[in-house]
Amino acid sequence: MQAYEFINNLIPPLKLTDKTGMALAWMEEIRTNVLPVVDQGKFLGLIRDELIFDLNNPSKLISEVELANSACWVYSDKHIYDVLRVGAEQHSNLVAVLDRDKNFIGVVTMEDSIAAFADSLSIQSQGSVLIMSLNMTDYSLAEIARIIESENTKVLSSFLTSDPLDDSKIKLTLKLDKPELRHIKATLERFGFKILDHYQEESGVSGEEDRIGNLLRFLDI
């Protein structure tokens, strides 16, 4: 799940000597609105189609344009989660990937990152999602999993987030392998756990939009 594994080789980098008209033609050809700019193997930033349209000068060189998102990159050995984090922080659909000498290797798209992250969390597996609230001091995934397994259900993956309303609490999101949650909810509540929300999936996931939608639900976004 390292960044270099998900580099999209169909997205080429621009050079400073390229013209904005050529950049726009590339964007139209590969159906993207942003491209990376590289000089002598070093990542300089991103250029977007809206900036090129505003310039309205196809002969203008990339070197004459103010680039954006020079910090929109990760090292090649970073986890795909870091790609998602940087992309979100930089408000970018592309994240550059560099080696440890900071040489440009390629880019990863947010779509590919989300798909990879969803796969790692078993998002496309049929089942259900359960969201719990608990004190950090009470958190024990082993104990919670034991209770859930007593109902013949397995925890496929888990995700922790802080509670924005209470620093002492966390939200625990669980992906379970069974769609039926009634008995599991009742058992957890009997042990004193608070259930915030749940999502039951009656059919398998199909298509990229469903996978992304399930990921956002899993992350409780």
Q: What is the pLDDT of residues 60-81, one digit of tens each?
A: 999 999 999 999 999 999 988 8
Domain 124-218 top-level CATH class: alpha beta
What is the distance between the alpha carbons of residues 121 and 170, in angstroms, rounded to a whole number? 19
The pLDDT of residue 11 is 95
Say whether pLDDT at 219 is over 60. no
Residues of the chain with CATH 3.10.580.10: 3-118
Give the pLDDT score at 114.
79
The domain defined by 3-118 folds into CBS-domain (3.10.580)
Tell me the per-residue pLDDT of 87-146, one tens digit each, with 9 for 90 and over: 989 999 999 999 999 999 999 998 888 777 666 555 556 778 888 888 888 889 999 999
pLDDT above 70 as % of the chain: 86
Q: Which of 25-39, 103-117, 183-197 is modeled with the greatest confidence?
A: 25-39
pTM over 0.95, yes/no: no
Give pLDDT, residue 182. 87
Measured distance CA(221)–CA(114) in Å, rounded: 13
Place of tokens 């950090």: 136
All CATH 3.30.70.260 domain ranges of the chain, comma separated, are: 124-218
Question: Residue 132 carries which DSSP code?
Answer: E
Closest CA to 26 of 42, 10, 40: 10
For residue 24, the model assigns a pLDDT of 95
79 versus 9: the higher-pLDDT residue is: 9
